[in-house]
Chain A
C-alpha cells in the first residue's frame, strides 16, 4: 500500500465534529445544490415545458404546431430557467471527480468521467433546450421547420448516448478495481443498468410509434425509471462518501 493510499484509509478517532465538518463544508454545500438542481430540472421538464413525458413523435404537423402554440410561453419560461441553472450539473461531476480520484486506480477514470459528463451537457441538455426555444420563438414558422426543431429537441435529448456510455464505464471500472472502499460495489452494478439503458435508447432513431419510439414504454419509461433509481443511488452514495472522508485527508493529485 502506498503512503497515499494509507493516508486515505487511515482511521482517525479523536477529531471533534466541529473540525470534521469544517473540512468537508464546501462539499456539503455543493452537494445540497444537486437535489435542488434536479428539482428545478423536474419542474422545467414536467410542469413547464411539457417535454417529459415527451409528446409523441408520430404527431401530425398540425398537432406539432399546436403543441408549440399551446405551450410556447411555458416552454420559454422553463428553458430560460434551465439555461440559467444548467451549469450546476457540473457540481455532481466535480464532487464525483474528487472521490473517484481517491480510488486505487482512480486518476485516469476520474478525468474520463469528468470529460464525458462535460461533453454530455451540450448535446443532451442545451441543444434540446435551444431547439425548443427556437421553435417557441416563432410558432408561425413553416410547419416543416417546426417539425424539424421538434425532432431535433427529442432526438438530442433522448439520443445523446455516447457521452453517457463513456461516463459510466470509467465510473464502473474505478469502483470495481478500487481497494480503498470509497464507493460500495453495489453502486457499480447499479450503474451497469444505467449503461445498458443507453443502448436501449438506440431504437428511438428508427421508430415513430410503439414501445421503442422516444415516448415509448421501453425506450422512454423503463429507461427513465432506471435513470431515476441510479440518480438517487449516486446522490445517497456520494453523500455517504463525503461524510466518511477522513478529516485532514490530503486530496490525491
Chain B
C-alpha cells in the first residue's frame, strides 16, 4: 500500500460516477435531452413541474462533480513519473482538469438558479437554461487540451517500461477528436450538432463515459506497476 494516496483518489472517481449517473438519470432534462427548440412556455413549464427532481439531481451533481475528476489528479502524478524532458505537461494537464470541472460547476449552478424560483418570467428561465446547457456541453477545448497533453507526454515517455501504454495515448486522441464537434452546439438549434443531437449529446457523453472507464483501468495498472517497481527497489 505504498501508493495509498493514489489508490484513494482513484477509487473516489467510480464512487462519484455512480452517484452522478444516478443524478443524471433522475434529472428530467437528460432522458431524453431537452431540445433547444422548446418554446419559452414549455421550458418554464418544465422547470415548474420538475422542480424537486431538478434540485435533487443538480445538488448531487454539485456535491460530487469536482470529486469525480480526482482520478485525473492521479493521472497528473503518473505523468510526473514519465521520462519526459520536464514535468511541464503534467502540470498543464492538472490545470486543464481544473478548468473543465469549473465549467461543470457553473453549469450546475445555472440550473439550480433557474429551479430556485420556477415562477420567474419564462424568458429568464430560458436564458438560464441555455447558459447551463452551453456551459455543460460546449467547453470541449479544455477537455481536448487535457487529452492532448496526456497523449503528448505518453509519446515522449522514454522509459523502457512506459508508465502508461501507447494505446492510452491513442485513446486520448480519439476521445478529443470525437468530442470536439460538440462545440458547434453554441451555434445551431437543431440537427446532430445541437446540444441534444447525436454528436453533441449522445456521442459526446458515451465517449466521455468510455474514456473515464478505460482511463480508470489504465491508471490502476500504472499504480500497481509503480508499487511493484518500488517494492523491488526497497
Contacts and interface: CB of A to CB of B under 8 A. Distances in A.
Contacts, number: 117
A202 B113 contact: no
Interface residues of B, number: 41
Nearest to A131: B113
A105 interface: yes
A170 B74 CA distance: 12
Interface in B60-118: 61-67, 69-70, 73-74, 76-77, 80, 94, 97-98, 101-102, 105-106, 109, 112-113, 115-117
Given A177-B4, A205-B59, A119 B106 contact: no
Contact of B105 (A123, A170, A174): A123
Contacts of B58: 205
A129 interface: no
Contacts of B74: 108
B116 A162 contact: no
A160 interface: yes
A57 B69 CA distance: 32
B128 A148 contact: yes
B70 A145 contact: no
Contacts of B76: 111
Interface residues of A, number: 41
Given A148-B120, A165-B66, A105 B113 contact: no
A161 interface: yes
A118 B63 CA distance: 16
A152 B94 CA distance: 28
Contacts of B206: none
A111 B94 contact: yes
A105 B4 contact: yes
B145 to A, nearest CB: 16
B5 A119 contact: no
Contact of B109 (A156, A177, A206): A156
B41 to A, nearest CB: 16
A23 B151 CA distance: 38
Contact of B64 (A107, A159, A160, A162): A162
Interface string A172-200: 01100100000000000000000000110
A108 B112 contact: no
A116 interface: yes
A89 to B, nearest CB: 14
A152 B113 contact: yes
Given A107-B5, A166-B67, A199-B63, A151 B116 contact: yes
A159 B59 CA distance: 9
B113 A112 contact: no
B124 interface: yes
Nearest to B109: A156
Contacts of B8: 108, 173
B67 A169 contact: yes
Contact of B5 (A155, A156, A174, A253): A174
B121 interface: yes
Nearest to B2: A105
Nearest to B61: A162
B6 interface: yes
A108 B9 contact: yes
Contacts of B77: 107-108, 111
B117 A147 contact: yes
A54 to B, nearest CB: 14
B62 A159 contact: yes
B227 to A, nearest CB: 12
Nearest to B123: A144
Interface string B117-134: 100110010001000000
11 contacts: A109-B5, A111-B77, A112-B9, A116-B66, A148-B113, A148-B128, A151-B113, A161-B59, A162-B61, A163-B66, A205-B58
Given A122-B106, A145-B124, 5 more contacts: A105-B3, A148-B120, A163-B101, A174-B5, A205-B58
